[in-house]
Structure 1
Amino acid sequence: MLVAVPWNDLAFLAGTLLLGGILTGILAGMLGVGGGGVIVPVLYEVFGMMGVDDSIRMQLCVGTSLAIIIPTAITSYRTHKAKGAALPDVLKQWRLSAIIGIIIGSVIASFAAGWVLQAIFVLVISSLGLKSLLGRNDIRIAENLPGQGMMALYGLIIGFAASMVGISGGGLATNFLLLYGVPIHAAVATSAGLGIFIPIPGVIGYAIAGWPHLAELPSLSLGYVSILGFALMAPVSAFVAPYGARLSHKLSRRHLEITFGIFLLMIATRFFVAIFTA
């Protein structure tokens, strides 16, 4: 049973969502990630305040995060593409397999317990955080991208992880591309483009999966997708994303990588603790 949110808390909730939207847009533009590492934690706390049951809370966070990512990714990718940094051939290679991966992940997530999604979130976010802290963009598997079979496998993995964690897959895609010698700005721009089409089937899947739980979900929820969360965060993050994209072409990334890495590890720790205290 959901508890009513006091009116004097609505301003705080709205402010939190708007701030999350700003952080999401900056990260999306600068790092080529959809901002799920920011969106999911913010939504997790907000939905907790609204009394959403822990058994469906993470699913609602992930589904809403995927919806918010779409307009953010579009504006971020357009800015990067205008600078000629994106690799459209890579996007074509990944598109189908990534969509298949996110459909598979969405189906599994709809039946999985909340703590399972939290555990996967901790694993993925911790990996990205450690990678960001190490800052080793010079590590290479090869100097050229692999063949179609391996690229399809990478796309499948990216899509699956994105659907389970509520991210666009951009952080994973960027790291894959860097391992094959793709320049950092091209990797970021291409990863931003991936976030345009990866979340769409995930949003549809989470909306359908959450339909039987409408009585337990907050008002204005379309299954496991919160219309309120989307309406407050998506426009702000989409508006801010181009500024982050422009900054990524001007600033040194090292201090940002360190800050981002620490932030992600803090978020991962928060969810790790939540698994054992729920």
Structure 2
Amino acid sequence: MEYLIMVVANLLIGGMIGLTGIAGFLLPMLYSGFMGMPSAQGLALSFCAFLISGILGAYNYYRARSLDLRLALFISLGSFAGAIAGVNLNLLIEEGIVKKILYLVVLLSGISILIRKENKEEKEDGKKRQMPSAFWVGFGFVTGLICSLSGAGGPVLVMPLLVVFGVPVKTAVGIALFDSIFIAIPSCIGYASQSDPDVLMVLLPVTLISHAAGVWIGSRNTSFLRPDILKKGVAVFSVVIAVVKLITG
């Protein structure tokens, strides 16, 4: 039954990540909350899955010309360093405090997407606001730190914020998936080193294969969704999840 739950959950969550870039944060909640795994083991399994979803999803978005590779590289540079710091801080800061900060940011990002009015130029060209490269590196560091520390993966925080900064929604999803690779690498190594290797070797194949299948299916079918509908859906999903988590803790 445990394996069946993992397969179904990873297929569904992987599909949602492929379509919208978000939902990865549900995996550590599933492993550590519902299934009762040790925190480090749940995070190790989750970030290994995020590594796969990032690679497959970013590849499909790049093929669909929905990935701004230059911007993604600047953000990912900061995220890699931030993720290293986040894994080390995980042992020092109370997890509940970090979770509240994360979901508050997600809530505000989702609300901003819903209330933000686009002008005609943004609708037609989808041009992002001009920010210096250093800003995007710093952006990546902060989001990478929070996501690796809390187990959010990356896109749930990065994607809505990119949309707020004027990045087109599909491009934002592609960038967030690419960025999640660089958050996942140090996180996988850090949390796996704190876990039972024998257990990980058994559970990892189940997680990775089912998660990869879900992401591949989801990211290959983004053309069937209108960007405005996708944007609103991501915003509503972010707000609902953030409110639920802030209330329930």
Could you tell me the TM-score, scaled by structure 1's length?
0.73
For residues 125 and 184 of structure 1, do their structure 2 counterparts lie closer, same or farther at Cα, with a shift above 3 Å needed?
closer
Structure 1 residues 72-101: Cα deviation after superposition (integer angstroms, max 9, x where no partner): 111111111111221111122123211111
Q: Distance in 2 between matches of 1:15 and 1:69?
A: 19
Counterpart code for 1:150: F
Q: 2:204 aligns with which of 198, 205, 230?
A: 230
Instruction: Report the equivalent of 2:143.
Output: 158
Q: 1:189 aligns with which of 171, 174, 190?
A: 174
Q: Distance in 1 between matches of 2:92 and 2:17?
A: 29
Q: Shift of residue 245 of structure 1?
A: 1.7
Q: Distance in 2 between matches of 1:228 and 1:121?
A: 31
Counterpart code for 2:54: A
The reply on whether 1:14 has 2:19 as its aligned counterpart is: no
Structure 2: tracts of 5 or more residues without a match: none
Structure with higher Rg: it is 1
Mapping of 1:1-278 within 5 angstroms?
11=1, 13-33=2-22, 35-48=23-36, 52=37, 57=39, 59-120=40-101, 122-124=103-105, 126-127=107-108, 130=111, 134=114, 136=116, 138=118, 143-208=128-193, 210=194, 220-221=198-199, 226-252=200-226, 268=242, 271-272=245-246, 275=249
Paired residues of 1:25 and 1:72 also in contact (CA < 8 A): yes
SS in 1 for 2:131: coil
Q: Distance in 2 between matches of 1:243 and 1:145?
A: 33
For residues 118 and 230 of structure 1, do their structure 2 counterparts lie closer, same or farther at Cα, with a shift above 3 Å needed?
farther
Q: Shift of residue 28 of structure 1?
A: 1.5
Structure 1: tracts of 5 or more residues without a match: 1-10
Q: Shift of residue 176 of structure 1?
A: 3.3
Highest RCO, 1 vs 2 (Cα 8 Å, sep ≥ 6): 2
Structure 1 residues 14-62: Cα deviation after superposition (integer angstroms, max 9, x where no partner): 22211210122112111123x32221222133432xxx5xxx53x4333
Q: Distance in 2 between matches of 1:233 and 1:137?
A: 40
Q: Distance in 2 between matches of 1:194 and 1:137?
A: 27
Q: How many residues align?
A: 243
Paired residues of 1:125 and 1:264 also in contact (CA < 8 A): yes
SS in 2 for 1:85: coil
For residues 97 and 257 of structure 1, do their structure 2 counterparts lie closer, same or farther at Cα, with a shift above 3 Å needed?
closer
Counterpart code for 2:134: G
Counterpart code for 1:30: L
Could you tell me the TM-score, scaled by structure 2's length?
0.80
For residues 87 and 27 of structure 1, do their structure 2 counterparts lie closer, same or farther at Cα, with a shift above 3 Å needed?
same
Counterpart code for 1:220: D
Q: Shift of residue 106 of structure 1?
A: 0.7
Paired residues of 2:24 and 2:153 also in contact (CA < 8 A): yes
Counterpart code for 1:191: A
